[in-house]
A and B are shown apart, each in its own frame.
Chain A
Amino acid sequence: MADDAVLKRTGLYDLHIELGAKMVPFAGWEMPVQYPMGVLKEHLHCRAQAGLFDVSHMGQVILPASAAKALEELVPVDVTGLGEGRQRYAMFTNAEGGILDDLMVANRGDHLFLVVNAACAEADIRHLEDYLEGVCVIHNRALLALQGPAAETALARLVPAVAGMRFMDVQTHGWNGAELWISRSGYTGEDGYEISLPSDRAEEFARELLEMDEVAAIGLGARDSLRLEAGLCLYGHDIDTSTTPIEAGLNWAIQKRRRAEGGFHGAERILRELAEGPGRLRMGLRPEGRAPMREGVDIYAEAEGGAPIGQVTSGGFGPSIEAPMAMAYLPADLSEGTTVYGEVRGKRLPARIVPMPFHPHSYKR
């Protein structure tokens, strides 16, 4: 999108400005990248207490429950077997097994509720409409995420029933006459909730949360460092049409029945990689020292010479682990503990292959 194109604003725009947010263009939206607290402190606040994120730029889509079978053609995930009141991570795949987008699918009884990435939303919707009937795009609901160890305490003050939810549960609850679609999930590795609610009630709801001592507004900057520490993929960086779910290490998202039956776009390659193993894999790197290895840094097997064996897809500094961290696609036969070298400003710096997440998850299972 061109810089001078008109950027869309979420229902919380005025609140972000009032809170002193630094706004940036993101996937066609004007979004808060950080508040006066700053990325580092926002990150640590979310891990210690609770962070409120405006993620209203993400696409919200409803499908009739009867579309579950047809949707299974587009995702390698078990949708028909997803219980009512449950949510599941999924990805749209193409015929070559590449990833078109990653998404959440919730079974809300008489319908399925999908949340897709803002940058992919238009293409996703066209893709859905090409294959199934009754695609309904939601334009009048905001989406908030409340994440962190105090998220339950904070949200339960407004909606007591959320305390009883488990990770990936979805429920509908009323709040002062507004209908909230709540899931116990998120993108930080922390316990927490994602809440879809009418756009015209979002500011009022956010203010109620922000008035609580535990809750602070968190921008996209900290959202990125939180998800990276949690080892979670960012579409367009760590996964895209050139990576398969198996190369990305997302095997866990493909349930047994789908592995046995196939019948989804890219099944040939994806099932073959499941059986034989992929040639390369998304791996975690912990650079020695403090210098971050950012996206695009070439990775080498040796300290000198040779051709690159991979490239960093996401990298930065982890405020909670107090160290740099990165993800890269590397030859699948490299084992954890192996030292590789990232070329930063002309110097090859050592980095160790480590398991992800970099910071442990604390989901309420």
Chain B
Amino acid sequence: MKFTEEHEWLRVEGDLVLVGITDHASEQLGDVVFVELPELETQVAKGDEICVIESVKAASDILAPVDGEIVEVNEALADNPGLVNEDPLGAAWFFKMKVEDMSQLDGFMSEDEYKDFIG
């Protein structure tokens, strides 16, 4: 698993990359009450705001961590946004991206590096 400075995690499954938010991010957000998922089959560029999370406190964006195509979204989050708090690193993945160039992931942090990053 890789981690970004935007508190996202990425997990490679074949030529797909699963993306979610870290437990640290989910704690900071507070109780999540709404998730707006990205549109399927869209090409996104690294840094695009493609997903919105609303917690009891505020709205936050999820950015595309790399260039790629959105091929699957986690519909379970639309019905049960609380999953983001319950199981951020597992059941609450947000979307799967088809990524041509996996070397884009090289610069991201390992779990230990991320733990140091959040202090």
Give A contacts to B, CB under 8 Å: 34, 38-41, 221, 225, 290-292, 294, 316-317, 319, 324, 345
Contacts and interface: CB of A to CB of B under 8 A. Distances in A.
B36 interface: yes
A39 B52 contact: no
A215 B85 CA distance: 24
B34 A39 contact: no
Interface residues of B, number: 15
Interface stretch (B3-11, B53-61, B65-73, B89-97): B53-61
Contact of B57 (A39, A291, A319, A324): A39
Interface string B28-60: 001101101000000000000000101011110
Contact of A290 (B30, B57, B81): B81
B30 A34 contact: yes
Contact of B34 (A34, A40, A292, A319): A292
Contact of B36 (A34, A291, A317, A324): A291
A304 B109 CA distance: 44
A319 to B, nearest CB: 8
Given A38-B30, A38-B31, A221-B30, A291 B56 contact: no
Given A290-B81, A291-B36, A294-B59, A39 B54 contact: no
Interface of B: 30-31, 33-34, 36, 52, 54, 56-59, 78, 81-82, 85
A306 B81 CA distance: 33
Given A221-B57, A317-B56, A291 B30 contact: no
Contacts of A319: 31, 56
7 contacts: A38-B31, A41-B31, A221-B30, A317-B33, A319-B31, A319-B56, A324-B34
Contacts of B59: 292, 294, 345
A344 to B, nearest CB: 9
A285 B85 CA distance: 27
A167 B94 CA distance: 47
Nearest to B35: A290
Contacts of B82: 40
Report, nearest first, the 9 A-B pairs whose CB atoms are least far apart. Answer: A40-B31, A317-B33, A39-B56, A290-B34, A291-B34, A38-B31, A292-B54, A39-B31, A39-B30
Nearest to B34: A290
B54 A291 contact: yes
Nearest to B81: A290
Nearest to A317: B33
Contacts of A40: 30-31, 33, 56, 82
B26 to A, nearest CB: 11
Contacts of B81: 290
A96 B88 CA distance: 52
Contacts of A225: 56
B30 A292 contact: no
Contacts of A290: 33-34, 54, 78, 81
B36 A221 contact: no
Q: Quick one: which of A221, A225, A290, A319 has the most chain B CB within 10 A?
A: A290
